[in-house]
Structure 1
Amino acid sequence: MRQNSFSIEYGTFLGKVFYVFAIFVLLLLVLTCIMMSDISRMSAYTYNSIEKIPHNRTGLLLGTSKFVSRNKINQYYLNRINAAVELYLSGKIDYIVVSGDNALKSYNEPRTMRKDLIKMGVPQDRIYLDYAGFRTLDSVVRIKHIFKQDSVTIISQDFHNERAIYIARHNGINAIAFNAHVPRQDFFVSNVREFFARLKCLLDVYLFDSKPKFLGDSIEIGGENISPKHAQLHENTSAALQKTPEIRVDLRRDPFVRDRDADIFVPAGIHLK
């Protein structure tokens, strides 16, 4: 009888633990969904129309691999290059910071992007290289702390732009973005990958308080255009960055906010071979 009583009490205890755990998981899921929706709300700061996007002195072109396989160009790369060129030629940005991965000697996203931008008409002295843009957070935070830009136009695909703007505004950067065309054949895969990227973004921002891998001396946009490789010589420490006030998102009052353009930008008349 005593053993049966213990079993009943133990079972009741486990049931309560499971119930509390289930409630915790449910609340965590609800909180995650709310925060995910906050990232999606950054679409209010993105533009599809060259005519409607405001002017910013500097554009931040987020890097990606040029090729997806041997001799097959990455359409995400191509469309980002086209978008950056169109912004510059239309007078919507004056300088372009190309930020990407250069972790290996054989792989250099910034240099590749610079070559293609120059081929398409962007002057070399208007392009600055950030070799330490290993991920979106690094690229966005470094635009403020290395290149000293408090306002910037981010250039990537729409889903990527929303996440980049979220990181930017959390770090006190007044960011807007121009949406490069999304290849429709990769739409599903891109959205699945972006879901997990946004989860990691939330962990970086709210749990880990992540910082760029490398910082270094500042580089003046519009000054002497030197190679910023030295900017990644000093590994970042937790004390290297002071906490920057977050830019609060108020969709009713922010002067940059407007209804998202209904049209989808497809670069016209500019092609990279």
Structure 2
Amino acid sequence: MKTFLKKHFKKFLIACFVIGIFIFSINFYIVKSTEAYVFSDIKKLPKVDAIIVLGAKVSREKLSYVLEDRLLAGVNIIYANKAQALLLSGDHGQKEYDEVNSMRKYILRRNFNIKKEQIFMDHAGFDTYDSMFRAKEIFGIKSAIIVTQDFHINRSVYIARSLGIEAYGFAVDESIYKESLRFNWRIRELLTRVKAFKDVLISSKPTFLGEKIPISGNGMKSWDTIEKAK
């Protein structure tokens, strides 16, 4: 019995080691292949077709601090004249949960001097892969600056570039958040990078596609009908 357990315990350890090397290798590759395209200084960013702000948790219409920081960074990049269009991409899969309209209303409420026509909305950005796929296929974006926190930025840029977007990342400062929260983000990111690698490898399709809305046009065409009428 002891021999049996010892034998299988060794196999278990070997399997864990192999899986660990696999996860580490993918993470290393994604970070190293994108680090040249990630910036924390707005002045160093190139001009692009659009700024893509990725969604995060909201409570009714109240933005989480994470999402608010992303939006403010996106607005500042627009102010720096790096792009004229702002694509807000997030989860609006349910009527009672709406990241994209919450983002849009936040911008308009704050009077950021951004025209309504500049604000595009992707209601089906259910995850980062869907957001990047739809940015290219629905909105026709060829070049973009992606805005999200540092832990998330390499994966975002990796997916976008793998799909054919000339993508750059702006890493929002996350040092203000609790260390325990940042640790949890990074542990989770180890696995989500593996999923991103798999999605790119097998050319996954997003949950939804739909009618094309060129980023060079009027952003209000991407708004909900009821919001257009206001």
Query: Following TM superposition, by how much is the alpha carbon of 1:153 offset from its aligned partner in structure 2, in angstroms?
Result: 0.6
Map of 2:36 onto structure 1: 44
Q: Is the 8 A contact 1:131 1:229 kept in 2?
A: no
In structure 1, stretches of 5+ residues that fail to align are: 1-6, 231-273
**Match for residue 142 of structure 1 among 134, 141, 154:** 134
- Which residue among 10, 15, 24 is the counterpart of 1:33? 24
**Contact 2:144/2:168 (CA < 8 Å) preserved in 1?**
yes
Q: How many residues align?
A: 219
Per the alignment, in what secondary structure is the counterpart of residue 128 of structure 1?
strand
Distance apart, 1:165 and its partner CA = 1.0
Question: Match of 2:213?
Answer: 219
Q: Tell me if structure 2 keeps the 8 A contact 1:66–1:78.
A: no
Higher alpha-carbon deviation: 16-25 or 161-170 = 16-25
State the partner residue of 2:115.
Answer: 123
* Alpha-carbon offset, residue 44 of structure 1: 2.7
CA distance, structure 2, for counterparts of residue 24 and residue 107 of structure 1: 40
**How do 1:113-262 residues align onto structure 2 when only pairs under 5 Å count?**
113-118=103-108, 119-182=111-174, 184-206=176-198, 209=202, 210-225=204-219, 226-227=221-222
1:86 and 2:76 matched:
yes
Is 1:61 equivalent to 2:53 in the alignment? yes
Residue 77 (structure 1) aligned to one of 67, 82, 89:
67
Cα deviation per residue 1:63-85 (whole Å; 9 max; x = unaligned)? 12345x997x5221221111111
Conserved 8 A contact 1:141-1:168:
yes
Q: Judging changes above 3 Å, is the alpha-carbon distance between structure 1 residues 109 and 165 closer, same or farther for their aligned structure 2 residues?
A: same
Say which one has the larger Rg: 1
When residues 200 and 157 of structure 1 are mapped into structure 2, their CA distance, relative to the original with a 3 A threshold, is closer
Instruction: Determine what percentage of the aligned residue pairs are the same residue.
Output: 29
Equivalent AA in structure 2 for residue 25 of structure 1 = C
**4+ residue segments displaced more than 6 Å:** none
SS of residue paired to 1:59? strand
The structural deviation recorded for 1:229 is 6.2
Q: How high is the TM-score relative to the length of structure 2?
A: 0.83
CA offset at residue 199 of structure 1?
0.6
Q: CA deviation digits over 1:22-41, x for unaligned, max 9? A: 32321221121121122333
- The verdict on how the C-alpha distance between 1:178 and 1:220 changes in structure 2, with shifts beyond 3 A counting, is same
CA distance in 1, matches of 2:187, 2:159: 15
* Structure 1 counterpart SS, 2:170: strand
- Distance between the aligned counterparts of 1:204 and 1:222, measured in 2? 28
Cα distance, 1:172 vs structure 2 = 2.5
Q: Deviations over 1:98-117 (max 9, x none)?
A: 00111221222111211222
Q: Which has the higher helix share?
A: 2
RMSD: 2.7
The runs of 5 or more residues in structure 2 that have no matched partner are: 226-230
Contact persistence 1:48–1:179 (CA under 8 A): yes
Aligned partners of 1:60, 1:44: CA distance in 2, in Å? 18
1:58 touches 1:97 (CA, 8 Å); kept in 2?
Answer: yes
